[in-house]
Each structure stands twice: as structure tokens, then as C-alpha cells.
Amino acid sequence: MNMYRFSALVFQHCSKLASYTYTWQAHYDEWRKTKAETPTCGAALMNSDLDQVVLVKGFTPGWMFPRGKINDREAKAKFYPQAAAREVLEETGFDIGPILDPELYIERVALLSTRRANGFQIQTGNSKRIEAILWFRLSDLPTSRSDEDCARRIALKSKDFFLVIPFVSQLRRWAALVRQGGLSRVAALR
């Protein structure tokens, strides 16, 4: 059952929503619009060798970086680093606040934390949104949905990484530049 059908049934069968039965579609459309427009923020947690990254899997399909919606207070104050730290803590139990560099980012809201993150105890924090958390080798992650070797490398299909794919190539290039020592971590992103 998709969300549209589920919403229709909730409005039909919940007595407190009965007065909205004829307008539920407008409420559903407004919710979808708000959901799509609310920015997300998170972090790519990488080990000190910059060759592994932590990904989380929610109860919906797909692996992603620990991330979530920016709340109203954070959005108004443009507290993106704090939002990233809050979401990572909620989803992994790891506090990146003290090591987060607000200058290390991709597309403003996918922030990177690359100081020694390996070795921390991965846990789901207080979040009931996370089904699994794993370290993945950056070289194993797909760079497109048509990457047929992904299943051979990590026993998962490339479509399972659709939320990560847009960032993988840039992360690989960045990690290679930093490992070579030619650029600072921030300069390597630009």
C-alpha cells in the first residue's frame, strides 16, 4: 500500500479526522510539498584513512549517510552544522559536534566529519528510524544506478544506494586529493 492510499484510509476510518474526509487530498498534497521543501542535513563519517564511510539504512529502501530534516529553529538560524551533529547523534549514537568542521561540506547540507571516526561503537542512538548501520569501503560504493558490479563487491544492488550515489564520485576524488597531501581538506572540496 502506498502513502496516498494509506492516507485516504486513515481519513476515512479515524473519527477525529472525519470532518476532513472531503479535503484530505489537499492536506496530503500540502504535507508532500512541505516534506519535499524541508532541507535535510547530515554527515559522511569517514575513517582516518578516508577509505570507509558509515551508512545507515532506515525502514524504507536504501542506504544513506546519517541525516535528517532540519528543524525550524535550525533553519531560521542557519545552524546547519548543529543540525548535522544532532542528526548523526540521533541515528548513530556518535557525537560529531566536537570534530565537525563547518567548512567541509558538499552542497551545503551534506557535511563531512573526517577526523578519526573509525573505532567508535556504532549504535542507533535514540532513533527508531534506523534498521542498520554499517561501514562501507568507499571504493565498493556505486557511482551510478547501472553499476552491475556493486552486487559482486558488496552483495547489494546499486539501487540500494540511490541516496548516496550523487556524492560518491566527489567523495572519492576528495579523499584521493587529501591522501596525496597536495591540498587541505577544505581546499580539496572546491
pLDDT digits (tens, 9 = 90+) for 58-69: 877 789 999 888
Cell of 161: 544506494
- Note whether 88 and 60 are same-domain residues: yes
- Note whether 29 and 46 are same-domain residues: no
Q: Hunting for cell 508532500 — which residue is that? A: 32
Q: Write the CA distances from 47 to 28, 50, 51, 133, integer angstroms.
A: 41, 5, 7, 15
pLDDT digits (tens, 9 = 90+) for 35-55: 677 778 888 888 888 899 999
- Note whether 100 and 30 are same-domain residues: no
- Note whether 179 and 86 are same-domain residues: yes
How many domains is the chain built from?
Answer: 2
Is the pLDDT at 74 greater than 90, yes or no? no
Q: Write the CA distances from 72 to 40, 77, 89, 92, integer angstroms.
A: 12, 9, 18, 22
Bridge partner residues of 58 (DSSP):
130
- Note whether 30 and 43 are same-domain residues: no
pTM: 0.74
- Note whether 60 and 9 are same-domain residues: no
Is the pLDDT at 188 greater than 60, yes or no? no
- Note whether 101 and 121 are same-domain residues: yes
Do β-strands 63-64 and 110-113 pair in parallel, antiparallel, or remain unpaired? unpaired
Bridge partner residues of 46 (DSSP):
53
- Note whether 77 and 144 are same-domain residues: yes
User: E strand or H helix at 113, and its extent?
Assistant: strand 110-113
- Note whether 5 and 88 are same-domain residues: no
- Note whether 22 and 89 are same-domain residues: no
| CATH code, domain with 44 | 3.90.79.10
Please give the residue range of the domain that contains residue 162. 38-189
Provide the pLDDT for residue 71.
82
